[in-house]
Structure 1
Amino acid sequence: MSTATHERPGVGRRARLSFRDSARVANVGLRTRPLRAALSALGIAIGTAAIVAVLGLSSSSQAGLLAEIDRLGTNLLKVEAGRSFGGQTADLPIEAPARVSHVPHVQHVGHAGLIKDAKVYRSPMVPPASTGALQIRAASLNLPSVLTIGVDRGSWLNAGTATGPVAVLGSVAAQRLGIDRVHPGLRIWAGGQWFHIAGILKPATLAPEIDVSVLIGYEAARKYLGHVSVFRGEPADGPPTTLYVRADTDHVEEVQAVLARTANPQAANEVNVSQPSDALTARAAAEGAFNSLFLGLGAVALVVGAVGVANIMIISVLERRSEIGLRRALGATKGQIRMQFLGEAILLAALGGVAGVAAGVLATVVYAAGRGWAVVIPVQAWTGGIAAALLIGAVSGLLPALRAARMSPTAALRTV
């Protein structure tokens, strides 16, 4: 006659906690001390938010800048007068724009001539030292179209106004002179001469020197400010100091290679040729490198958050000795105790990480929208933030979990 044997719960075979039950136990442990848990998760949230925001803002900024470069075109080349062997500032030949315009694959050529020692003031009553670092440039009539600069207020120079005392202000020049609109009778004192204001330009992204300039016609520059050159023994308007060259997009490098010797065949070494879009791209890369500093600060905040999580978990183990002893007496294994406290630490860090990611994304969206950028949040930003938070939770909670698992039931129950 066989005898049936029955196992009592907790005796013989050990019951295993499912993942869902482990998560529920960890959640109960955190809800019993919500304020302490929230403060501990705050450090991780701040660190994660800093990482997500820095990467998001950096990517959005670079995307906005690259989009602006694409809009303005990467086919603009700048030809400037350099230095002679003696160190003096060289001059471009007055016929340089005409020569460059005949180079194959050149679409358009605009140019401007810096008028040295000419100062700009709001009125002749302004102290001579208060120039605002503004410059006066003679400009070709096609300059805005070559640089793709719009007119913000008023109008650009034309064949008539370019011969008289009429000027157009760059965007920064207008701000420094305190001029935000154009009206009849508006004048400035430039080069010891009154000039009427015809318009204000929008920012020139590819030519920042235009932003700080007062622009007048070449004939007006010769007539009123003495900006004159000699061509074939006769006085002529000029000379230009900067050429802005639009080339066919597929032949930019070919055009760039011949510009210096075309603009000044007698002294090609005195000519500097550059591509403004390259400088802007380099600036975007430099801003990305500078962001590594802020990423480091975010990592420091995460470490501080990890210390906070470890601290709260150690205190939790000490305060919950009776709970640990009771659970061990009812049959909980060391592994279940270990997983309980490790789960609490990971859950605490995960909550901080999710909150930090949400805060970082919100900061990126608000700032990028305010600047008119496309919102770009790299996948590695939010996934890396959450992964880092989980890793920190596991590492910071491991020691307290091991300590709780090693606690004997009898020693723990003495505190009851």
Structure 2
Amino acid sequence: MDVRDLVGEAVAGMLARPVRSALTTLGTVLGITTLVVTLGVAATAGNQIVGRFDELVATAITVEVPETEHVPLVEWDAIDRLTRLRGVVSAAALAEGKDGANLPVRSNDLVDPARVTTQSLSVLAASTGLPEALRGRMVRGRFYDAGHVRRGDRVAVIGDQAARLLGVTRLDPAPAIFINGHAYTVIGVLGDLRRERNLGSAVIVPPTAGRRFGLRQVSRVLVNTDLGAAALITRQAPAALSPGNGDMLQVVAPPSPTRARDQAQEDVNALFLILGLVSLLVGAVGIANVTLVTVMERVAEIGLRRSLGAARRHIAAQFLLESTLIGLTGGVIGASVGVVAVVAVSAAKQWTPLLDARLAIAAPVAGALVGLLAGLYPAMRAARMEPADALR
């Protein structure tokens, strides 16, 4: 039996019962489709996550400044040197500490025993570039500027959550709040924060006013960079903020976006890969079962072939090739459906589909391998039949 005869007999065996062959192929189709969709969607989603990760996180740097007894490590005007670095989009210095935590703040000077008018809020001092550094916006009013800082004006900006707690809804009457008994005019409400969202419930005052609450030294510096400049600014920021003492500052750099992408793909793969393997296993069992039934139905044919001189290897090869062709057909159909599904999901989510071409090529091979392994036992059973027993 040459190769052409072998292929012809295998194809004829498949087409002799097309409905049964189609249903048998369905298990492999589902398994291969699940694998292709899982790996394709995981790669596409991971790439999308990296894009968002770069935008929101990979450009954010925080510099922690330890407190010293005498001369501060970072002066408030050091932010000007930092913002001159190429790649820095915005930066702001913060003075926080236990002295400014949970201070009593109220929005009027009346003491009403019937209602709670005093709130315990955090008070912090910040440089004028804080809204941009927090990636927020002024919901109402404005942020204080260099003139307020230079004159030592007693003004304050409150977060949007703090405004709700204090009942500050309008700024045109120049409302005042009392921080630990000291009056400050509210000139703005800061909200929609994408960094440090906990500052939405804080009261922010200029550095000159923060000294009254023990907020004299810069404790943190928030920096936003251009995409791809974070690593460079991480090395340069300490020297720009504190020349000669940069090694004492701790820079919290963003994690690698590649690591985030890989982790996202691993999570998605681990979740759905098992489903694809189970589907392939079901498909393999189906192929093995149908091939075994086919062998039992074709006992007379096997006995006749053996009587006419067919060797055991010819009979085994015929049924192995038939089961392999079923698996290969399921792999081709499953790979095609999987690719279309990945593109459809990406289009629905407005993502850029990302699919490894090697996966589309390997999927049919995996289907053929499943069919080959599933047909081993039925083929061996057919090959072991004796001609006389089969004909009888």
1:58 is aligned, of 16, 32, 42, to: 42
SS state of the match for residue 369, structure 2?
helix
Matches within 5 A, 1:251-270: 255-265=233-243, 267-270=245-248
Alignment match, 2:205 = 219
Residue 25 (structure 1) aligned with residue 13 (structure 2): yes
1:403 is aligned, of 371, 381, 386, to: 381
Alignment match, 2:300 = 322
Separation in 2, partners of 1:20, 1:137: 83
Alignment match, 2:92 = 111
1:201 is aligned, of 182, 185, 192, to: 192
Residues 281 and 273 of structure 1: is their aligned pair in 2 closer, same or farther, counting only changes over 3 Å? farther
Residue 413 (structure 1) aligned with residue 383 (structure 2): no
Alignment match, 1:241 = 220
Separation in 1, partners of 2:316, 2:277: 28
Alignment match, 2:111 = none
2:159 is aligned, of 159, 167, 186, to: 167
SS state of the match for residue 229, structure 1?
coil
Separation in 1, partners of 2:2, 2:347: 57
Q: Structure 1, residues 311-346: CA drift from partner, whole Å, max 9, x if none?
A: 332233123323433565688775654344223312
How many percent identity over aligned positions? 22
Separation in 2, partners of 1:224, 1:34: 77
Deviation of 1:253 (Å): 5.4
Deviation of 1:400 (Å): 1.8
Separation in 2, partners of 1:15, 1:105: 69
Alignment match, 1:393 = 371
Separation in 2, partners of 1:70, 1:363: 27
Alignment match, 2:270 = 293
Separation in 2, partners of 1:156, 1:387: 65
Residues 370 and 154 of structure 1: is their aligned pair in 2 closer, same or farther, counting only changes over 3 Å? farther
Residues 24 and 369 of structure 1: is their aligned pair in 2 closer, same or farther, counting only changes over 3 Å? same
TM-score by structure 2 length?
Answer: 0.66
Residues 226 and 405 of structure 1: is their aligned pair in 2 closer, same or farther, counting only changes over 3 Å? farther
SS state of the match for residue 105, structure 1?
coil
Deviation of 1:159 (Å): 4.5
Q: Structure 1, residues 241-283: CA drift from partner, whole Å, max 9, x if none?
A: 2330537968x6554333224323475344222442x433321
Matches within 5 A, 1:86-101: 93-101=75-83
Residues 322 and 299 of structure 1: is their aligned pair in 2 closer, same or farther, counting only changes over 3 Å? same
Mapped contact 1:156–1:168 kept (Cα < 8 A): no
Separation in 1, partners of 2:3, 2:239: 87
Alignment match, 1:234 = none
SS state of the match for residue 214, structure 1?
helix
Q: Structure 1, residues 36-62: CA drift from partner, whole Å, max 9, x if none?
A: x25xx42x3443233222321222123
More displaced, 191-200 or 240-249? 191-200
Alignment match, 1:9 = none
Query: 2:48 is matched by which residue type in structure 1?
Result: G
Paired residues, what number? 358
TM-score by structure 1 length?
Answer: 0.63
Mapped contact 2:7–2:321 kept (Cα < 8 A): no
SS state of the match for residue 407, structure 1?
coil
Mapped contact 1:137–1:214 kept (Cα < 8 A): no
SS state of the match for residue 375, structure 1?
coil
Which consecutive unaligned segments of at least 5 residues does structure 2 have? Answer: 104-114, 150-154, 172-176
Q: Structure 1, residues 96-123: CA drift from partner, whole Å, max 9, x if none?
A: 3134235x5364441253755359xxxx
Residue 347 (structure 1) aligned with residue 325 (structure 2): yes
Separation in 2, partners of 1:279, 1:199: 30
Mapped contact 1:135–1:212 kept (Cα < 8 A): no
Which consecutive unaligned segments of at least 5 residues does structure 1 have? Answer: 1-12, 178-183, 231-237
